[in-house]
Chains A and B, each alone.
Chain A
Amino acid sequence: MAPQLANWFPILVFMAIAGLIALAMVAGSLLAARQKPYAEKISAYECGFEPFDDARRRFDVRFYLVAILFIIFDLEVAFLFPWAVSLGRIGLFGFFSMIAFLGVLTVGFIYEWRKGALDWE
């Protein structure tokens, strides 16, 4: 085996174990659980929407708003993790860069809160 591929061996083990666990769970539920299927139960679950329906259906614009607000804080966390891990090496400048970023997000948060974007009704 080429030496650079050897570094990926743990990944191979990881994938094998993941496959085994997934197989065990599906097989276990097939063999051990009671099966009482009916149409509604075996249809695909699509985030609360009908799985087979006209895609051009209207739905509430507020879903978009919630999704966008979610993305803001989702991104924040995506930035915060590597920042927290490397905080020892990036020093004060790195620390205050993130604080400035969080400050900008907070301004956006105050704005959306006062605008009532967080109220569903």
Chain B
Amino acid sequence: MNWALALPEIVLACAGMVLLVAGVLARANAFMLACTGSLGAFLAVGLLVFTTGVGHAYSDLFVVDAYSRFAQVLILVAGALGILLAMDWTRQEHLRRFEFPLLMLFSIVGMMLMVSAASLMSLYIGVELMSLPIYVLAAFARENVRSAEAGLKYFVLGSLASGLLLYGISLVYGFAGTTEFSTVSVALSDPANLSPGLVVGVVFVLAGLAFKVSAVPFHMWTPDVYEGAPTPVTAFMGTAPKVAAMSLLVRVMDGPFGHLIGQWQLLVTVVAVASMLLGALAAIGQRNIKRLMAYSSIGHMGYALIGLAAGTSQGVRGVMIYLVTYVFMNAGTFAVILGMRRDGRAVEGIADLAGLGRTDPTRALWLAIFMFSMAGIPPFAGFWGKYFIFAAAVQSGLWALAVIGVLTSVIGAFYYIRIIKLMYFDEAATAFDAMPPSLSFAAAATGLFTGLFFMFPAPIVAAAEAAARALMG
């Protein structure tokens, strides 16, 4: 048995437990110890991901391929950005407890398991391991009513989604006779095995995972939880779990359920269109920037789902590239949002950004880059993500989907560009407090990536291509 294939996950989990004991035994500075320890563990595990071999392990419960590697590296980057964004904010809000980065770390272990799942059972364990720490993180500011509400809401709805997922898994197991992806795929390649119960099971699995990527109509929790949760947690929830859930969704739909594409393609198309429309229209009236980002993320997941609906290798490549650009521009936007403080108090209104172009030109420049990128304006990273997605849709003959995608991104551009207008053309509000160095660094790094993506897309596109080939064969 080739247990060493899971070495990155094992090392990360062990590092988390060592840090937990070290943190609880430490007399002082447990928080910084946990932060630096987690970041170091992410770096080490990121290197390990490249050195471990490729193949199946644990009686076909676990798989390592180019696809899982791509997603895992992206998840680790997103996790590292999440911890970086939390470091100064937790000090300012008096939430400097060492459990904070460690909960993120354990959630990352679950995400890495998810994208390496080769069976519906390991899939479910990964999803739960990812979700449970995030429920706690959402309620981390426990004296704050909104944070507690966000945690409870997310927990209750997340449990419901887990129930749906499990119900779907049990139906698939009942009708296909196995939970392993490879054997499910073989069983479904024979049209004689196609029963209504199986299709219902697939739909339930799709619904459970659509909840995790917050696609319409399973998005109801997103705005409230995003708004109520502590801002670094919102930043984290908007990046790493989305990557993991979307990668998993693509793996499940194109892998074991790939032969059923005739059954689920229309569903995914409808979900994608609804997400794009809601993301574009509902965000227009928002005044709170975290709520705006919630609707924005719903819309972005809609675009990524186009790549899944395409059902081709190009589509998968498009999803992976989209996720890369999305992680960087989302984390960068949250770096700027976390820096929105006046007299030591966090502000979250969109109107608070007025005149930022004059009071703090660098910060405004980064935010402008992220907003242009989210709107999909060339040459920023977001444009390339959308480009590969739409190209895949057109190649699969999904013209209507591509056209709706372009139209909704035009509508979405309205609220992104309105923020830029606010920053550069409106009456200046009082200046924000100076940004802590960690946030400036995160904003600059993600801003440079987003702005200069067009100069070095080749390695990322090639890696996404290899990942897609590993999945689609």
Contacts and interface: CB of A to CB of B under 8 A. Distances in A.
Interface string A84-114: 0000000001000000000110010011001
Contacts of B21: 107, 110-111
A57 interface: no
Interface string B274-294: 000000000000000000000
B160 interface: no
Nearest to A93: B1
Interface in B17-40: 17, 20-21, 24-25
Interface string A39-57: 0000000000000000000
A115 interface: yes
Contacts of B25: 114
B24 A115 contact: yes
Contacts of B17: 103-104, 107
Main secondary structure of the interface of A (DSSP, over half): helix
Most chain-B CB neighbours within 10 Å: which of A103, A104, A107? A107
Main secondary structure of the interface of B (DSSP, over half): helix
Contacts of A104: 17
Question: Chain A interface: which size bin?
Answer: under 10
Interface in B253-311: none
A111 B26 CA distance: 12
Contacts, number: 14
Contact of B24 (A93, A103, A111): A111
Interface in B98-147: none
Nearest to A113: B24
Contacts of B24: 110-111, 114-115
B139 to A, nearest CB: 14
A21 B209 CA distance: 51
A70 to B, nearest CB: 19
A93 B17 CA distance: 22
Nearest to B10: A100
Contacts of A93: 1
A95 to B, nearest CB: 14
A110 B21 CA distance: 7
A72 to B, nearest CB: 14
Contacts of A110: 21, 24
Contacts of A111: 20-21, 24
A103 B20 CA distance: 13
Contacts of A107: 17, 20-21
A76 B1 CA distance: 26
Contacts of A103: 17
Interface in A14-47: none
A62 to B, nearest CB: 15
A10 B241 CA distance: 52
Contacts of A114: 24-25
Nearest to A111: B24
A110 B20 CA distance: 9
A114 B1 CA distance: 38
A93 B59 CA distance: 13
B58 to A, nearest CB: 11
A107 B24 CA distance: 10
A43 B21 CA distance: 47
B318 to A, nearest CB: 39
A107 B102 CA distance: 13
A71 B1 CA distance: 32
A110 B25 CA distance: 9
Interface in B31-51: none
Nearest to B23: A111
Interface string B349-393: 000000000000000000000000000000000000000000000
Contacts of B20: 107, 111
B226 to A, nearest CB: 27
Interface string A65-92: 0000000000000000000000000000
B104 to A, nearest CB: 17
Given A111-B24, A114-B24, A115-B24, 11 more contacts: A93-B1, A103-B17, A104-B17, A107-B17, A107-B20, A107-B21, A110-B21, A110-B24, A111-B20, A111-B21, A114-B25
14 contacts: A93-B1, A103-B17, A104-B17, A107-B17, A107-B20, A107-B21, A110-B21, A110-B24, A111-B20, A111-B21, A111-B24, A114-B24, A114-B25, A115-B24
Q: Which A-B residue pairs are the 3 nearest by beta carbons?
A: A114-B24, A107-B17, A111-B24
